[in-house]
Structure formats: C-alpha cells, structure tokens
C-alpha cells in the first residue's frame, strides 16, 4: 500500500492538479516503471505505489463530484436501492500480476477469475492494459475519464488474429472481430505478447461457472 505517502507526491503533481494533469503524470510514470517495460528490481514496488496513488486521487475526485452534484448514494439493505460493490484483494493472483493490473482492473475481476495473459498496448489512441482471463477480455483505457474498464466475453468474439504492424517493425496488431460485425484493434504490442493474448482467447466459448465445492 502507499501508506502515509501523499498520492500527489507519488505522481509528482500539485495538490490542485486537474484530472487531465493527474492522468498525464500517471501515464508518464507507468511508461517508465511498468514491469513489462522495466525489469529493474524496484519496478514492481514502484508501479504498485503509482497505481494506488492514481486510484486514490481518482476516487477522491469521483467522491467530490458526487457530493457536488448531490448524487452520492446510500447503500440499502432492503434490495430497493444501490448495494455496495463487493471489494476483493484478488489474492488468488500472484503479486506480479496484481501489480501489473492495478486496482481498477482487479476490482473488475470476478472472485476467483484467473488471469491467463496480459500486456500493454493501445486501443485506438489510448494506452491500455489488456487482460485475458478464462472467460473474457478486459482492457483499461488509461486516459479515459469514464468507462475506463471495458469487457468482452468470449462468446461475443468471432475471431482473433495477429498481424505485423509495419514491415521491419517488431510491433504487432491484435485484431478482434465480434459476432455482431464490429472490430477492435489493439496496437503497439510485441509479437510475443500479442501471440500470448491471441492464444488465450477462445472465440465463441461460453463460460459455465462450476458449482460451489468443485
């Protein structure tokens, strides 16, 4: 955890920094410290601090916006109103994977959902952390203000393929074709990472949760 460290100090921004400035600082630090790009011994610890600081500032901004708009909701126990979202620590994953994904993607996972492959790439013009589990793809758009985490179940996918981005460039495009005809492209991936992602996706598969105790 970040502990007593000021999240503004961790990201190197002022206390009155705008969401855009915070996002830009986060992306710059992530490019330097993400374990996929920095194999140094301190990379995982530093990236965890950066992820937690960014999540803390985003949560504070969301709470302030909700309070200002009078939209803060109160949990109801009678089923008639919003219920609190279950929080988990994703302790079924390794420390390395939890650090790479960061708090927003971890919160988006279902309890016990395994991460099979992950990589940093680009969705459209936004840098994204791409994750494949045993049942779906998820990706986090770093510079999105809302709807940062997207999800796509395997049964909605028709096909996945990898193609070289440009001749003589060691970058690959991952193309995902949906059953409804839409296409999604993830660019900026190394051939190894793109192949791992593609091999982990199973188009058309429906996920059937196992009964408890199995």
Q: Helices (DSSP H) in the chain: which residue ranges?
A: 7-11, 19-33, 43-69, 95-108, 191-200
User: What pLDDT does 113 receive?
Assistant: 95
User: What pLDDT does 112 receive?
Assistant: 94
Class of domain 103-200: mainly beta
User: What pLDDT does 175 receive?
Assistant: 95
DSSP secondary structure, 144-196, as one string = -SS--EEEEEGGGEEEEEEEESSTT---EEEEEEETTS-EEEEEEE-HHHHHH
Q: Looking at the DSSP assignment, which residues form a beta bridge with residue 118?
A: 131
Tens digit of each residue's pLDDT (9 = 90 or more) over 33-87:
876 666 677 777 788 788 778 878 877 776 676 666 665 444 333 333 333 444 5
Contact by Cβ (8 Å): 138, 149: yes
Please list the residue range(s) of the chain that carry CATH number 1.10.287.110: 7-69
Please list the residue range(s) of the chain that carry CATH number 2.30.29.30: 103-200
User: What pLDDT does 169 receive?
Assistant: 59
User: What pLDDT does 214 receive?
Assistant: 53
State whether residue 10 is helix, strand or coil: helix
Ranges of the chain whose pLDDT falls below 50: 1-4, 72-86
Of the candidate CATH numbers 1.20.1250.20, 1.10.287.110, 3.40.50.11740, 1.20.1050.10, the domain formed by 7-69 belongs to: 1.10.287.110
User: What pLDDT does 63 receive?
Assistant: 67
Contact by Cβ (8 Å): 129, 105: yes
């Amino acid at each position: 955890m970040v502990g007593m460290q000021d999240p503004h100090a961790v990201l190197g921004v002022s206390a009155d920094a705008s969401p855009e400035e915070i996002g830009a600082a986060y992306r710059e630090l992530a490019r330097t410290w993400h374990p996929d790009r920095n194999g140094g011994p301190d990379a995982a610890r530093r990236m965890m601090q950066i992820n937690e600081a960014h999540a803390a500032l985003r949560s504070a901004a969301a709470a302030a916006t909700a309070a200002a708009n009078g939209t803060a909701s109160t949990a109801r126990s009678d089923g008639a109103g919003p219920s609190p979202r279950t929080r988990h620590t994703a302790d079924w994953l390794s420390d390395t994977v939890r650090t790479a994904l960061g708090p927003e993607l971890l919160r988006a996972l279902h309890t016990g959902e395994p991460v099979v492959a992950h990589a940093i790439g680009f969705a459209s013009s936004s840098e994204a952390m791409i994750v494949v589990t045993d049942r779906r793809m998820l990706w986090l758009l770093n510079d999105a203000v809302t709807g940062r985490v997207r999800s796509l179940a395997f049964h909605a996918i028709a096909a996945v393929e990898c193609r070289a981005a440009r001749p003589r460039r060691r970058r690959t495009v991952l193309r995902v074709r949906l059953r409804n005809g839409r296409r999604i492209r993830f660019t900026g991936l190394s051939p190894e990472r793109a192949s791992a992602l593609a091999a982990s996706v199973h188009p058309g598969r429906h996920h059937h949760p196992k009964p408890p105790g199995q």
